[in-house]
Structure 1
Amino acid sequence: MLKLIKLELRKVKIGFYIKRALFANLVVILIFFLMIISPKDGRNIEFTSFINTFIMVESLIKAVFIIFASVLLSRFVIEEYKNKTITVLFTYPINRKKLIISKLMIVVLFTFIAIVLSNILVDFILYNINIFYNFVPSKLTMTTVIESLIIIFLNALVSSTAALIPMYVGMKKKSVPTTIVSSILIMFLICSNSGCYSLKFISIIPILLSILGIFVTYLSIIDIEHEDIII
């Protein structure tokens, strides 16, 4: 499995997507910086506390990388079926399920790591910007930091698995646009449930979407060993 993942990473040139992820982070940072220097009514209404700031950061980053995951799914899976290049791969003496799972593992791991690291990076940069601009009136406590990290990891796990749902939808039509559009719908469902930033509150909708993502992935590959790839 590890060899398949390494081969897949070489084939798709994962460095290209890492650069795009870094660019996405720059855009997120720019958005927040513009919000900081352009306060409404002469004050930063949005940044009432670090908790509130972290909520906004996490919501935006999740939105970005759920859609980003659909692009990866399109590149790794949907386009392979659409262009029929998957038929060539299936002629090799390689277990089909392992082949598809290796592709999906790359997408899930990339999305998970990207969400976690992006949150930490953007939060860290905003914290340092706050030293000079003082746009957040409250102080950052160690309790807030620890709780934020736990929530970031949990939400990254939920989001990265829920991001698999568009693959099932896209496979039905063998369509990249359908995959991306469905990811936008998933993004709205997940990010609209980020209103409470507490370990005591984990929204049921993202968790259900995460379970659904794993389930539809199972449905997508369960009979793949016996399928003839006819597009």
Structure 2
Amino acid sequence: MTNLIRLEWKKLNQKTVWMELFIYMLILIFFPTFFIKVVIPAFGQSYAAAIELNGFIQMGYVLFGGSLINHVFIEEYKNKTISLSFGYPINRKKLFTAKVLFIALFVFFATIISFILSGLTTYLLDQFFPIINGKPTTSDMLEFLKSMMIGSVLITLISFIPLFFFGIWKRAVVPAIICSLFIMQLPNFSSFFNIEPDVVVIILSILGAISIFLSLKTAESVGEI
């Protein structure tokens, strides 16, 4: 399985993927500070509020996951190169599993790194240009670590929502990206429906898990048609 995951990386246009990741990192690392300073200063009332904000900002990696679905699945179908993969003496479910694991690992670790860098950047900028009241406590740090680990897992699952319908069944790039954009923003609009953002995130993560299950379940029947 490890070799199959490595193969998925080798097949990609690595410069394009690294450039996309760099752009996501650059934006999301500085966005918490910008948001507190310019958009809603109320999130600067405490580090606890800033940590909560940062968790929702990292939802941006759902869109990165959608981009990887395009690179790993849709482009291979469009270019017919997936036929070569299906020619390997390995069942298609295992190949799909390797693709899913590759995307999951990439999104998960990218989100973890972004959490750490955005947290450090926000703290350091706050030392020079105070925007957050008080100082981070031990409780805040533990909450940040909790938010980082749980958030990265949930974001990774949510990023797979477009996989089954738009990635494998319809193989449609634009709808898959639009779906990711919509999903990424959905927790921010949960208040209009009187639903807690955390509840929306949990529901979305369940939908992502279902999308993965259906993708692997139908790997043999969907084939290369």
TM range (shorter): 0.7 to 0.9
Q: Which residue does 2:161 correspond to in 1?
A: 165
Instruction: Decide whether aligned partners of structure 1 residues 28 and 95 sit closer, same or farther in structure 2, where only a CA change above 3 A counts.
Output: same
- The answer for the alignment partner of 1:84 in structure 2 is 80
TM-score (norm 2): 0.86
Which position in structure 2 is the counterpart of 1:136? 132
Is 1:7 the equivalent of 2:2? no
Residue 58 of structure 1 pairs with residue 84 of structure 2: no
1:23 Cα deviation after fit: 2.6
Could you tell me which residue of structure 2 aligns to residue 17 of structure 1? 17
Kindly provide the CA deviation profile for residues 172-194 of structure 1, in whole angstroms up to 9, marking residues without a partner as x. Answer: 32110111111122212345569
State the partner residue of 1:221: 216
Residue 189 to residue 37, structure 1, CA distance change in 2 (3 Å):
closer
Q: Which ranges in structure 1 are unaligned for 5 or more consecutive residues?
A: 195-200
Q: Which moved more, 1:165-174 or 1:144-153?
A: 165-174
Match of 1:27 in 2: 27
- Residue identity opposite 2:178 in structure 1: V
TM, length-normalised to structure 1:
0.84
Preserved CA contact (<8 Å) 2:96 2:219: no
Cα 1:224–1:121 change in 2 (3 A) is same
Kindly state the Cα deviation for residue 14 of structure 1 after the two structures are TM-superposed.
4.1
Residue matched to 1:208: 203
Q: Are the structure 2 counterparts of residues 29 and 117 from structure 1 closer, same or farther at C-alpha, using a change threshold of 3 Å? A: closer
Distance 1:4 1:135, change over 3 A: same
Partner of 1:198: none
User: Alignment identity in percent?
Assistant: 29
Counterpart of 1:69 (choices 65, 68, 74) is: 65
SS in structure 2 of the partner of residue 138 of structure 1: coil
Normalized per residue, the structure richer in helix is 2
User: Helix, strand or coil: the match of 1:165?
Assistant: coil
Partner Cα distance (2:23, 2:65) in 1 = 15
Please tell me the root mean square deviation across aligned C-alpha atoms, in Å: 2.5
Q: Which piece of structure 1 moves more, 22-31 or 168-177?
A: 22-31
Residue by residue over 1:31-90, the C-alpha shift from the partner in whole angstroms, topping out at 9 and shown as x without a partner, is 4454566589xxx4441111222222221221x210010000011011212332212210
Matching residue's letter, 1:224? A
Structure 2 unmatched ranges of 5 or more: none
Aligned-partner residue type, residue 156 of structure 1: S
Partners of 1:223 and 1:33 lie apart in 2 by 44
Give me the whole-angstrom Cα distance separating, in 1, the residues matched to 2:214 and 2:37. 49
- The residue identity in structure 2 corresponding to 1:118 is S
8 A Cα contact 2:67 2:177, kept in partner: yes
Work out whether 1:176 is the aligned partner of 2:173.
Answer: yes
For the 8 Å contact 1:50–1:136, the answer to whether it is kept is: yes
Pairing partner for 1:106 from 102, 106, 121: 102
Task: Letter of the 1:27 partner, please give it.
Answer: I
The answer as to whether partners of 2:187 and 2:197 remain within 8 angstroms in 1 is no
AA in 2 matched with 1:77: F
